[in-house]
Amino acid sequence: MTISQYSLVLFILIVAVIVAGDAANVTYDGRSLIIDGKHKILFSGSIHYTRSTPQMWPSLIEKAKSGGLDVIDTYVFWNIHEPQQGQFDFSGRRDIVKFIKEIQAHGLYVCLRIGPFIQGEWSYGGLPFWLHNVKGIVFRTDNEPFKYHMKRYAQMIVKLMKSEKLYASQGGPIILSQIENEYGMIARAFRQDGKSYVKWAAEMAVELETGVPWVMCKQDDAPDPVINACNGRKCGETFQGPNSPNKPAIWTENWTSFYQTYGDEPLIRSAEDIAFQVALFIAKNGSFVNYYTYHGGTNFGRNASQFVITSYYDQAPLDEYGLLRQPKWGHLKELHAAVKLCEKPLLSGLQTTISLGKLQTAFVFGKKANLCAALLVNQDDCEATVQFRNSSYLLSPKSISVLQDCKNVAFNTAKVNAQYSTRTREPRQKLSSPHMWEEFTETVPSFSETSIRSESLLEHMNTTQDTSDYLWQTTRFQQPEGAQSVLKVNHLGHVLHGFVNGKFIGSTHGTFKAHRFLLEKNVSLNNGTNNIALLSVMVGLPNSGAHLERRVVGSRSVKIWNGKHSLYFNNYSWGYQVGLQGEKFHVYTENGAAKVQWKKYRDSKSQPLTWYKASFDTPDGTDPVALNLGSMGKGEAWVNGQSIGRYWVSFHTSKGNPSQIWYHIPRSFLKPSSNLLVILEEEREGNPLGVTIDTVSVTEVCGHVSSSHPSPVISQRRKGHNRKKQRHLKHQYDKRPKVQLQCPNGRKISKVMFASFGTPNGNCWSYSVGSCHSPKSLAVIQKACLNKSKCSVPVWSKTFGGDSCPQAVKSLLVHAQCS
């Protein structure tokens, strides 16, 4: 071998070693995932690329990383990537490769949930509607047509990931994949075929050779080597565990709140409850927790499933706009840091459980005295004092204390150190003048103007093929003489608007839980020919349950009663029109708007189904922008041709509130000025003069911490903690609980609205000075915090000049304004 040949071989070997070094070997055992030979406890958060914008992705991912996450989890949305069979789209918000590479650039891992059925409150559960038309298909069972298309799609996604070297085995960030989704919820409907399908799906996934493990959630019988995982709010209590001693305990969906449907109030889940369940799952050998969702985002366009509002999981640690939802974000950040302090003993392989009382338990980890961690669990609704390793601990109600060294409490799930924040919407432009608006009203089609005909009532989804929410169905009949009659329509669906002889007679609708309803209205009939027009409206496709392909929406029976006899129209000749004229012409775009005749805005409306058009300038600054539609009824809104989603303000909750008023307009949708706003309003009562362009920001922060709180975990881990010069002072400071306030987006604390060290009454939302109060409270806080973007004040009597009531447990409550 010549020197040059030897050098070439050596160079190739070096390159091979470098490439192999970049790749990660991901396996697992009964304790956790193992990455490059190291067991890992991993915290993950769901962020869906389609529910935000590419411009938002870097900030969302960075905030997730700052919150202590190791992994970003996302579904893959089949119906947006292959809207028509064989036609693929990975552009804009659909650019999943760009999204995953952005995650990798931030140094985080990825859990890729391929599905292809995902549910996720997404239209048709993520399945493309064209799949419904495949001959002989039955979704999600041992059905050859479905399996063929599912396999083809899964292969395509995996091939795309491999081509971009995105699997950990190739040096990429993807360490985990999911096939199917919550199949255990419907498996019984398919009996043996369901079991065969699960086995086939698992084998198909493994044969794709991604080099990383696969999971199935809510699938207790997930076949080896696929890992069965838990979904829900309380997997620390409900999960029966892995179905093999060689599989780790994985929590794929820890619901940080819950999706909201029109007519329902939001479900609020506290930071304390989430932290308790996560800590309990870790105590019971859990090693992977994914928050569903960490950022919910926005259901742009028509992508929300039936009756689901446009805002998605706004109560997540990052809200719809990407702002920190405090204290949820901060409290979970501290939990993650506390658990990571305990990672070595937690993964050591030795766990013992000690009863400390009827509802109190210690979970102890570690093999050596100097490598020990414990989680003290109090399941009682009352506080409890327990003895553990010759020390006494007061456990808060329904709490878990994390002891990183089996002695000192690093974190307590019930004691929140993180600040509370208040989100405010500020009107920046009012569209209150009639001259700002133009309108275009839909015409009600007659039978003769329709092109689709049938001798019976047609099903809505089969007819529209998901090209529109709207389906007109019309018929005509002869009436020998004018008469007052009653029109009765039994409908199965979402919304129905009725018209007789071109005049609006009324509307009615179903709910998320009740899709059957009756439209019953008095009508005046003409002598001679009469026309009935019914507009069936869907508010999203169904997204869950067995036999999704069999779902039916539409009018089931139509009749007119004239006081003497009924005239039934089920077998009459019906004419159909898919969609509205405005949709056909794309009037929400600059070019489309020029194709119709707009009129000046009129204050009085006799007919519904009106398009409104206006323009506005983009608010200054970087705060998120929202469209306030509180004065409107029901419909959809577009900005510069992009749909920001459906709205239904007129559908109130049991408390009399709209489910959603503000609708996110990503700044990437906007131009500096003259932005085109088009609103489709279905109802007569909608008033565009009340619409405003708002900005969203955090304007107030509050901290409420007692002397019994552990010190913030983050401060315990500061690098400066061990420096010799400041060691003693820094150690004293860092070990004390403290109120920490921070204003976001370059804002500063401009005013201290309340400050009390002592025994303040109430909480951050309602407070007053208590029986014990330091008169220096306000001055101390003002000196420490005013005109600063952040400040930290120890809960310590010396900070406030002494202790006038030494017997009382002290608290510090501070409420400040950011501007």
Catalytic residues: 182, 253
Name the residue type at position 570.
N
Q: How many CB atoms lie within 10 A of CB 486?
A: 14
Burial class (CB in 10 A: 0-12, 13-18, 19+), 725: exposed
Please say whether the beta carbons of 813 and 796 come within 8 A.
Answer: no
Query: Distance between CA atoms of 29 and 249, rounded to whole angstroms?
Result: 10
Q: How many CB atoms lie within 10 A of CB 585?
A: 17
Q: Are strands 109-115 and 174-179 parallel, antiparallel or unpaired?
A: parallel
Are the CB atoms for 764 and 741 separated by under 8 Å?
no
754 Cβ contact partners less than 8 Å away, ≥ 6 residues apart:
767, 813, 814, 815
Q: Residue 7: CB partners within 8 Å, gap ≥ 6?
A: none
Burial of 798 (0-12, 13-18, 19+ CB in 10 A): exposed
C-alpha–C-alpha distance, residues 103 and 380, integer Å:
40
- Phi, psi dihedral angles at 15 (to 5 degrees): -60, -45
Tell whether omega for the bond before 688 is within 30 degrees of 0, i.e. cis: no
**Token digits of residue 756:** 């009390």
Confirm if 49 and 297 have CB atoms less than 8 A apart: no
Backbone φ/ψ region at 615: left (φ over 0), alpha (ψ -120 to 50), beta: beta
Provide φ and ψ at 150, rounded to 5°.
-65, -45
Closest of 221, 226, 271, 270 to residue 248, by C-alpha: 226
Angle at 310 between CA 306 and CA 311, to 5 degrees: 125
Instruction: Residue count of the chain, please give it.
Output: 819
Distance separating alpha carbons of residues 552 and 569, to the nearest angstrom? 19
Give how far the C-alpha of residue 205 lies from the chain's centroid of Cα atoms, to the nearest Å: 26
CA angle, residues 730, 736, 739, in degrees to nearest 5: 110
Alpha-carbon separation of residue 609 from 60, 165, 435, 583 (angstroms): 37, 50, 20, 12
**What CA–CA distance (Å, rounded) separates 112 from 107?**
16
DSSP string over 199-218: HHHHHHHHTT--SS-EEEET
From residue 5, alpha-carbon distances to 12, 16, 36, 721 in Å are 11, 17, 33, 54
